[in-house]
Amino acid sequence: MPAQLIQNNTKPFQSVTVDPITLDIIENALRNARTEMDAVLFRTAMSPGIREQHDAFPMIANQEGKMVVGQFGSFFWGFQQGYDGTIEEGDIFLTNDPYTCNGAISHLNDWLMMMPIYIDGRIVAWAAMFGHMTDIGGKVPGSLPTDAAQIFEEGIQIPPVKIYRKGELNKEILEMILRNCRLPEWNRSDFNAVVAALRLAERRIVEMVERFGVDPLISAMQEMLDRNKRAMGSILNMVIPETKQHFVDYIDDDGMGMGPYKIECTMWREGEIVIFDFAGTDPQSISSVNFLLNEEMFKMFLGAFFINLFDPQILFNDGFYDLVEVRIPRGSILKPIRPAALSSRTHMLARIFDIMSGLLGQSSPDALCAAGFSDSPHFMYSGYDKEGEWYQLYQIGFGGVPGRPAGDGPDGHSLWPAFTNVPNEFLEAYFPLRIVQYQTIIDSGGAGLHRGGNGLSMGYQFLEPGEISIHDDRWLTHPWGVNGGRPGKRSTKLMVRNTGESEWMSSKCDRVKVSPGDTLYFNTWGGGGWGDPLERDPATVALDVRRRLVSPEGAKRYGVVITDDNKVNDNATAELRRQLSSSRGKVELFDFGGSVEELKARCLSDTHLQPPTTPVFQKWMTLSASDSKT
């Protein structure tokens, strides 16, 4: 049964005409309220994942639950499908269970809170926000076990509950939830910070109603949705062809010796409706790399991609959603069946952005972006310090953003543009470690007319005994280049023990014991290059060399010869470019650096791209891609 709305005032809303000036004022007021929600959260949360890195996403929706302003909606479609209770004034809902909200959030660490905003007994809007909690129980600190076979191993599951009922906090439920977390005070603080952000949104909506009236506000929000639909409809009709476009990409492994896992998607347009069909995508994994992809979330990804590519002035919201149809096979790695594990879904989630880029750019190569830092790698470190106090770090890594039509990809950046890094001074002050290296990885960005951004190397030296977890990808497959651009460099993880011995680590592993003096070099991958590298201005290549973004040897990928004083040798450069141009053959639209089978064969002789001490990976390396998933 659908949720039952309890409204004291059954008077229907009246659609009214809102003049353009009032509409702009309301739109900007809503935008500002959404920004204020972030400010309240970041100033009051305790966990560095939310406070420092901003791993939280707010939104304000209309009375029907359609996102009008926000960043990572839409939550209400899935929530309304899975919740069959009442919705009353003063209620605030809490859930972290993807299966009970059809993937509106996608793993248990994300606590989603939603609040109906009532005026005179009627819902006029919704406020919502979710944040990543550092720990919610489960079999490993951080609650993101790579080897989980079922969701029961990943932490406490919270179906949609009224954590506030008619304005009163349900303390017993909250205390039960916190009892299952390793860092209850962090969770409590982050929980209260989200509530405060929702209350702020409520105040701003009330102020708008007092200024403009209920019906003008409702009508303005509807017009904002309609404007988005008109703008996105024009873009979709202009860019998406009626002929089918097809693309395939992979995540490399599942942390248990199986993979790569294929994401396959076909895109076409029928009239004004754009269809994305993920038929051919691999079946769900027995590990936690599954991603329960909410169809509305995919549409949100699509809207964000198009708006940033074509016109950032378009207001990002749910208005265009009925112009897109998404088909995802049940039982696939993008639509796993409960109780499949989901905690490490980040790799598959983020690869969706590369899939979209590969699909959308085929008919418009000049607008095509390369593959880049399509992941949010995680690093976790936990244990007891000398005073017997528990410490636990969860951190998101950064890497190389792809080359794009507008220019070079940024170096050492996040997949999510709004994320920021945790300051090294903060890490050293609050956790028993030292940051001994923090720098971009020279030559890791793919060569191109527009260079792919370089990956980032962070050196963590541990000061206390503990355990670490590593979650990353692209150690096997390259971030591909486009329009003649070359692929980016892959990721590596190197552990240097306090004895001086070194070992290459798996890209996905838990429960790795570390001792004081051990150092982990967490090296992320670079972005693919865009365009012919032989067309890049040699003076720009020389500048990259002086900035230590490209090495003198790496400059030869651009056909540029650098002198000992880091200047361009014009004659040698002209000759090298002539040789490279005549010998390279046809320039393809995509450069993947080789097929999956070719990359695996190459890895057999390149031991730093595999964990040589792990027997299951040794076996995996000798299997075909299809056999390894059997």
> If pLDDT is split at 50, 70 and 90, which confidence band does 114 have?
very high
Phi, psi (rounded to 5 degrees) for 493: -135, 115
* pLDDT score for 75: 79
Cis peptide, bond prior to residue 74, ω within 30 of zero: yes
- Packed helices 184-212 and 171-179: angle between N→C axes, nearest 10 degrees: 140
* Run of H or E residues at 176: helix 171-179
Which residues are bridge partners to 512 per DSSP? 468
Q: Would you say residue 83 has pLDDT above 90? A: no
Q: Residue 620 pLDDT > 70, yes or no?
A: no
**Is the pLDDT confidence value at 62 over 60?**
yes
218 has pLDDT over 90: yes
What mean pLDDT value characterizes the chain?
91
Calpha distance 413→495 (Å, rounded): 23
In degrees, rounded to 5, the angle at the alpha carbon of residue 295 between the alpha carbons of residues 289 and 298 is 75
pLDDT band at 625 (very low <50, low <70, confident <90, very high): very low
pLDDT in tens, 263-301: 999 999 999 999 999 999 999 999 999 999 999 889 988
pLDDT tens per residue across span 364-392: 888 889 999 888 899 999 999 999 999 99
Q: Quick one: average pLDDT of 256-262?
A: 90
Q: How many residues does the chain have?
A: 630
Residue 335 per-residue DSSP state = S
Measured between alpha carbons, how far is residue 250 from residues 46, 165, 528 in Å?
A: 35, 44, 15
The pLDDT tens digits of the residues spanning 425-457 come to: 999 999 999 999 999 999 999 999 999 999 999
Q: What is the mean pLDDT of residues 249-258?
A: 92
Q: Where are the domains of the chain?
A: 4-224, 240-293+328-532+587-628
Report the percent of the chain where pLDDT is more than 90: 79
Q: How far is CA 615 from the centre of its chain?
A: 31
Helices 214-239, 295-310: inter-axial angle, 10-degree rounding: 80
| Cα distance between residue 572 and residue 576, in whole Å | 6
How far is it, in rounded angstroms, from Cα 19 to Cα 624? 63
Cα–Cα dist 335/339, whole Å: 12
User: Which DSSP state fits 256?
Assistant: S
Taking the CA atoms of the chain, what radius of gyration do you get in angstroms?
25
Phi/psi at 233 (5° precision)? -60, -40
| pLDDT the model gives residue 605 | 61
pLDDT over threshold 80, residue 531:
yes
- pLDDT tens-digit series, residues 123-148: 999 999 999 999 999 999 999 999 99
- DSSP count for the chain of H helices, then E strands: 14, 24
CA distance 292 to 336: 6
- Alpha-carbon 379 to chain mean position: 15
Amino acid at residue number 373: F
Residue 350: partners with Cβ closer than 8 Å, 6 or more residues away: 374, 375, 376, 415
* Six-digit token string for 32: 């500002």
Distance CA 625, CA 601 (A): 11
Nearest to 516 by CA among 614, 390, 383: 383
Q: Does 375 or 88 have the greater pLDDT score?
A: 88
Give mean pLDDT, residues 409-414: 92
| pLDDT at res. 604 | 64
- The answer, yes or no, to whether residue 192 has pLDDT greater than 80, is yes
Helix axis angle, 184-212 relative to 214-239, nearest 10°? 110
Taking only the tens place, the pLDDT of each residue in 336-359 is 999 999 999 999 999 999 999 999
How far apart are the C-alpha atoms of 159 and 39, rounded to whole Å? 28
Concatenating the DSSP letter of every residue in 347-415 gives HHHHHHHHHHHHHHTSS-GGG-------S--EEEEEEE-TTS-EEEEEEE--BPPPPBTTBPPPSSB-S
Q: What is the pLDDT of residue 304?
A: 85
Buried b (16+ CB within 10 A) or exposed e, 267-279: bbbeeeebebbbe
pLDDT of the residue at 627: 46
What token pair was written down for 145? 């076990």
Cα 415 from Cα 354, distance rounded (Å) = 11
Tell me if 461 sits within 8 A of 517, measured CB to CB. yes
Position 628 pLDDT exceeds 50: no
Tell me if 446 sits within 8 A of 527, measured CB to CB.
yes
More confident site: 539 or 584: 539
Q: What share of the chain is helix, strand, coil (3-state, %, to 5)?
A: 30, 25, 45
Residues 475-503 pLDDT 10s: 999 999 999 999 999 999 999 999 999 99
Which of 51-55, 223-227, 283-287 is predicted least confidently? Answer: 51-55
- 55 vs 314: CA distance, rounded Å: 24
Dihedral sign for Cα 557, 562, 566, 570, please: negative
